[in-house]
Structure 1
């Protein structure tokens, strides 16, 4: 039987990745205990140099260490280690309201794969004191929604709830804070069931320091978007590049052709050779995009089959656990 599964209730796991959050983690754990009394609360300590782990344990959390630095690495460990029916993920900095968690859990039980705690529709832009973060959220949101024809309001929120199937089939590749962006793109690409729930975001309390590097982590987020577009949308990516390169080559070829028609001589051989190479390169990019697009579609089919297998496995285990519990009760 899977650890964390319950025979008489829905098992819920609250996941709190933490790094140096001794000022707030105790309150966060207590708030989630109050909001979800039956949930198991896990704090994965990511090499904290303060008393985060000790305070979390005293507040009633299950504390485990994760030596690989970075939020993405911590979430990968959480998803691998913990089995539950519903997962709620938040940060340990007390910026997300724990009292929104029961409604998020209900939405997952209603059949959604991921519930997104939407900060941007409520108080984020007034509470958040870092203007570059506000700009970054808008840029990332516009780019992803445009490319995936979606309408997700908060791409980068750290407050989410997941189904068992999502957690066990989502490949966590990111190592740092770009993991939330990766989650959203993964969900949109595979047409998963998403639900956005507005929440009341609040800024960190005075004295609590953010671990987010605006410039460094912003570059990582943008590079993640670039990489995932290349992998998930190869035809627009490589096809667009191919069209641009090919049109430049075609334009240069046309200029040499005009000169030839006027003078009867090819006076710019290097330009002609370069132009033809650009046209060939553009065609190769387009063909590459077509081939990779077929591969990407096959990968999506494989993912859906894998997700279906995990969903069936989860139902079978729950049914067997319930039957076993009923048999023990009758005895």
Structure 2
């Protein structure tokens, strides 16, 4: 008699065992007397990429959690940026692949790891135990729905995981990112996301350090790829924090430069719109002086008119270019979706 089967795993402690669940005319129930965690094999061909630098304690907990959920060790790549605390030894002890990073910084770590990725989808996460391995399944499921990049949005932040300055900085940069690219993301700078290898291979990795997430996301959005996000938890990191407040200003500068790269006309017009500020200042000065003393400052009035007019026109044109860019992205996305259904 024919039967349909589906591959599952059950996990007891740190050990994972494969089982086959068969759908027969009869109902069969198997009862385990111990707590188990079921994880279904996903059809997505993926690789888990973990950039690290002196993350011995955090990486141990991260790998233990990933493997305990039934993920194949052969699909995990740890990119080491020159650790001196024995981090590579931890990875080797767990039987995962360790590669030495070319260059310095997180961007170079991702670029190096991409050379060794074998799957169609890359799941990137930090090795400091801040991101839960349970979220990997949600990211892959979203990718399998047809998305090209899925961000793990940090909605549930553990107490003490992010101080107020970091929360504000992340909120501000995300809002600015949404304005630049016309999206409604809740966490544009999350360090955990899944992205198709074909998309990642197009990124230039021009910006170093912690700006790599912004660069990957900017490229995906500007070239019409489907981007989504899923809510995840965010825990207190294990070990010393590497992201400093000054890195936030570096990310801000990178975002402006990325906007210039992908939409230079909008950036120029937006800069031109800033002339509204001196224009309004001169206008207000002339009006107040006239009301208080009756004097008319012709030069300041002329400067105010020029600056204000330039600012208003630039702002109007910037808004027009912004919506034209959004229309272009939608058209590119529709064309991409249509081509994906075309016969070879």
Q: Which residue of 2 aligns with 1:319?
A: none
- Matched ranges for 1:9-88 at <5 A: 10-34=44-68, 35-37=70-72, 39-88=74-123
- Show CA shifts across 1:31-66 (max 9, x none): 222342275111110111210011111111110111
1:107-147 CA distance string (max 9 Å, x none)? 21221101111113x2x263424221111111112112233
Q: State the match for 2:150 in structure 1.
A: 115
Residue 216 in structure 1 maps to residue 279 in structure 2? no
Structure 1 stretches (4+) deviating beyond 6 angstroms?
249-253, 271-286
Give the structure with the higher percent strand: 2
Is 1:140 paired with 2:170?
Answer: no
After TM superposition, give the deviation of residue 279 of structure 1 in Å: 9.8
Q: Which of 196, 201, 212 is the equivalent residue of 1:179?
A: 212
| Superposition deviation, residue 167 in structure 1 | 1.9
Counterpart contact for 2:47–2:119, Cα < 8 Å:
yes
Please give the alpha-carbon distance, in whole angstroms, between the structure 2 residues aligned to 1:40 and 1:156.
24
Superposition TM-score, scaled by structure 1 size: 0.71
In structure 2, the CA distance between the partners of 1:242 and 1:154, relative to structure 1 (3 Å rule), is: closer
Q: Aligned to 1:234, which of 238, 261, 264?
A: 264
Q: Distance in 1 between matches of 2:94 and 2:219?
A: 34
Alignment of 1:156-171 (within 5 A): 156-171=189-204
CA distance in structure 2 between the partners assigned to 1:39 and 1:23 by the alignment: 21
Unaligned 5+ segments in structure 1 are 1-8, 256-266, 317-331
Could you list the runs of 5+ residues in structure 2 that have no partner in the other structure? 1-42, 287-296
The CA RMSD measured in Å over matched residues stands at: 4.1
Task: Tell me how far apart the structure 2 counterparts of residues 155 and 279 of structure 1 sit (CA, whole Å).
Answer: 33
Measure, in 2, the Cα distance between the counterparts of 1:251 and 1:129.
39
Deviation of the 1:249 alpha carbon: 7.5
**Cα distance between partner residues in 2 of 1:152 and 1:158:** 14
- CA offset digits 1:284-327 (Å, max 9, x no partner): 989x989x99xx89x979x98xx89xx89xx99xxxxxxxxxxx
Q: Following the alignment from structure 2 to structure 1, what is the Cα–Cα distance between the partners of residues 147 and 303?
A: 53
> 1:282 deviation in Å?
7.9
Q: CA separation in 1, counterparts of 2:172 and 2:276?
A: 29
Q: Give me the whole-angstrom Cα distance separating, in 2, the residues matched to 1:52 and 1:247.
A: 52
Equivalent residues of 1:113, 1:165 under 8 A apart: no
Answer 1 or 2: which has greater helix percent.
1
SS at match of 2:150: strand
User: Shift of the alpha carbon at 1:273?
Assistant: 11
* Mapped partners of 2:260, 2:133: distance in 1: 36
> d(CA) in 1 for partners of 2:153 and 2:308?
46
Pairwise CA distance, 1:169: 2.1
Matched-pair contact (CA < 8 Å) for 1:11–1:39: no
Match of 1:101 among 136, 140, 144: 136
Is the 1:90–1:160 contact (alpha carbons within 8 Å) kept by the matching residues of 2?
yes
Name the SS for the 2:240 alignment partner.
coil
The 8 Å contact of residues 203 and 215 in structure 2, kept in 1 or not, is answered as no
- How far apart, in 1, do the equivalents of 2:268 and 2:140 lie? 40
